[in-house]
């Protein structure tokens, strides 16, 4: 997979303008004002200041944080020869410092990180769209999931609905003209969806400026009467992201519901969970690991040779609300990454764990949160969630994870015990194929065969020549594939 990069529109525009300047300045004198941009408050941005700031960021990263990089010993000689003046932005320089096989390291802007910490999405419809092409050859654009509070929620839009028209124009036309994303986020436009029963719904809606999200979209307890042959309650937890702070309550509330119902088996749906915060990961282990695993190792963290003194073992600490499971079913897929894979890998030695769905992403490593600026005054503000002065967050890979048996997460991801494609034709719950596969194994001890590839009720096909590559989960999720931990105190000396 191509190395994932995070660049804001303003950064890309600045880079383009700087290239133009470099081409023209040798021929004629250019008035600097001709290339000034405006910031969000309408103030002029001086290009020279932008260039200077980016090169200062490069220096700070190289001197303060680059030695933390896992592959530091492999690339330090090459990186030491890089010239700051050869790069227009910190993003380009950061990419140039990476090890060839590193497809995980990233940078966040201060705004992106603030959005993550607040749990708010901006300028959004609050939905994820996708296509069931790989297995079902279905090119219809379907809703994967929808967040509570989405402007489309009040119209009944749910998982599996097909988006057919925008402003009475077929979505196919927008896709072929490469204008789908732009058209999708227009203000006050007409949407036409087809629901799971084939009925058409047309309504007018606009993206919302901000939308508060949750780390979980569904918690349920399936009872014996809900599924043929089921003899015990089974918990279902659709967990979308390992988020810290107030979002830890999503885990606590789900586990309390399962505990109260006497659940011994849980279906943990991580198919869209691409990672996140280490504190949430720890808490999930504490709730799900059996009593026999209490105080035992679930992860060994390995750093580069220079920082080997930071190598450590993380252990399980069960609490009063911990479950007593005899089996855990994890629904996964290509978007299941990092912290989700750490959980799978760490629990495997202690619990009957079955992976259902598709092969996971494959991310055996993690990073620390490296703030810039990061003086003692800045850190004091960050501690109380005041990120007003934050400009950048560097997220270079800093450590690799392995479990108590020294097994690493596979680079190519975990292969499921039972393959089952993502079922975009049913809402999350008893009728969804992945959930049904888990329940069938609980009842009979065997997984069912994959569904018929002809189950997709498509109106579009490959012959139409269009394909939406949805980056909602990967490209537009700044936490994709991250296991993020606070910077160890041992590394705080000398921070700038």
Determine the average pLDDT of the residues in 163-174: 93
The arithmetic mean of pLDDT across residues 158-166, rounded, is 96
CATH superfamily of 213-364+399-451: 2-enoyl-CoA Hydratase; Chain A, domain 1 (3.90.226.10)
Q: Rounded CA gap, 491 and 343, in Å?
A: 26
For residue 20, pLDDT over 60 is answered with no
pLDDT, one tens digit per residue, over 58-96 is 999 999 999 999 999 999 999 999 999 999 899 999 999
Residue 467 pLDDT > 80 = no
Beta strands in 70-172 (DSSP E): 106-109, 120-124, 127-130, 141-146, 162-166, 169-170
Q: How far from 93 is each of 1, 52, 84, 98, CA to CA, in Å?
A: 20, 14, 7, 9
Task: For 214-265, write each residue's pLDDT tens digit.
Answer: 789 999 999 999 999 999 999 999 999 998 888 899 999 999 999 999 999 9
Q: What is the mean pLDDT of residues 447-452?
A: 91
pLDDT above 90: percentage of residues in the chain:
62
Cα gap 19→9, rounded to integer Å: 16
Helices 278-288 and 248-261, packing angle to 10 deg: 10
CATH number given to 122-207 = 2.30.42.10
How far CA 39 is from CA of 42, 116, 302, in Å, comes to 5, 22, 42
Examine the pLDDT at 27 and tell me if it is beyond 80.
no
Query: 178: phi > 0 → left, psi -120 to 50 → alpha, else beta; which?
Result: left
Q: Judging by beta carbons within 10 Å of its beta carbon (0-12, 13-18, 19+), is residue 38 exposed, middle or buried? A: exposed
Domain ranges of the chain: 9-99, 122-207, 213-364+399-451
In this structure, the strands spanning 265-269 and 275-277 are: unpaired
pLDDT score of 115: 74
Say what the pLDDT of residue 462 is: 45
* pLDDT tens digits, 345-367: 999 999 999 999 999 999 999 88
pLDDT above 80 (res 211): no
Instruction: Kindly compute the dihedral angle of the four CA atoms of residues 373, 86, 12, 44, in this order, to the nearest 10 degrees.
Output: 70
What's residue 491's pLDDT?
63
Mean pLDDT estimate for the chain: 84
User: Residue 1 corresponds to which tokens in the numbers above?
Assistant: 């997979």
């Amino acid at each position: 997979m191509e190395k994932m990069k995070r660049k804001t529109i303003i950064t890309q525009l600045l880079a383009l303008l700087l290239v133009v300047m470099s081409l023209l300045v040798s021929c004629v004198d250019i008035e600097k004002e001709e290339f000034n941009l405006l910031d969000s408050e309408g103030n002029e941005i001086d290009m020279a200041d932008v260039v200077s700031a980016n090169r200062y960021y490069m220096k700070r990263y190289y001197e303060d944080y680059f030695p933390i990089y896992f592959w530091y010993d492999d690339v330090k000689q090459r990186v030491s020869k890089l010239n700051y003046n050869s790069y227009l932005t910190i993003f380009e320089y950061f990419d140039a410092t990476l090890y060839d096989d590193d497809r995980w390291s990233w940078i966040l802007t201060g705004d992106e990180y603030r959005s993550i910490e607040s749990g708010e999405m901006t300028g959004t419809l609050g939905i994820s769209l996708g296509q069931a092409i790989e297995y079902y050859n279905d090119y219809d654009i379907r809703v994967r999931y929808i967040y509570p509070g989405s402007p489309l929620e009040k119209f009944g839009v749910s998982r599996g609905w097909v988006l057919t028209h925008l402003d009475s124009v077929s979505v196919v036309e927008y896709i072929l003209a490469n204008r789908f994303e732009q058209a999708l986020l227009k203000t006050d436009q007409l949407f036409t969806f087809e629901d799971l029963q084939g009925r058409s719904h047309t309504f007018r809606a606009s993206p919302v400026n901000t939308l508060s999200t949750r780390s979980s979209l569904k918690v349920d307890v399936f009872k014996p009467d809900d599924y043929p042959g089921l003899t015990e309650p089974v918990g279902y937890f659709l967990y979308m992201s390992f988020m810290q702070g107030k979002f830890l309550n999503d885990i606590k509330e789900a586990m309390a519901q399962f505990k109260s119902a006497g659940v011994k088996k849980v279906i943990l749906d991580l198919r869209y969970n691409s990672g996140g915060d280490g504190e949430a990961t720890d808490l999930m282990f504490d709730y799900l690991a059996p009593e026999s695993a209490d105080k035992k190792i679930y992860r060994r963290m390995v750093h580069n040779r220079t920082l080997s003194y930071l190598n450590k073992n993380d252990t399980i600490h069960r609490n009063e609300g911990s479950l007593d499971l005899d089996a855990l079913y994890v629904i996964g897929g290509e978007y299941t990454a990092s912290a989700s894979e750490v959980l799978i890998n760490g629990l495997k030695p202690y619990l009957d764990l079955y992976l259902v769905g598709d092969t996971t992403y494959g991310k055996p490593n993690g990073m620390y949160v490296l703030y810039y600026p990061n003086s003692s005054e800045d850190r004091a503000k960050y501690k109380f969630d005041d990120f007003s002065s934050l400009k950048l967050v560097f997220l270079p890979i800093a450590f690799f994870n392995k479990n108590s048996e020294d097994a690493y997460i596979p680079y190519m991801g975990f292969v499921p015990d039972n393959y089952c494609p993502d079922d975009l034709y049913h809402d999350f719950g008893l009728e969804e194929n992945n959930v049904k596969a888990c329940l069938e194994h609980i009842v009979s001890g065997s997984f069912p065969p994959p569904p018929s590839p002809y189950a997709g009720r498509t109106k579009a096909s490959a012959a139409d020549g269009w394909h939406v590559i949805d980056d909602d989960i990967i490209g537009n999720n700044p936490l994709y594939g991250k296991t993020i931990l606070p910077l160890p105190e041992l590394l705080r000396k000398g921070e700038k």
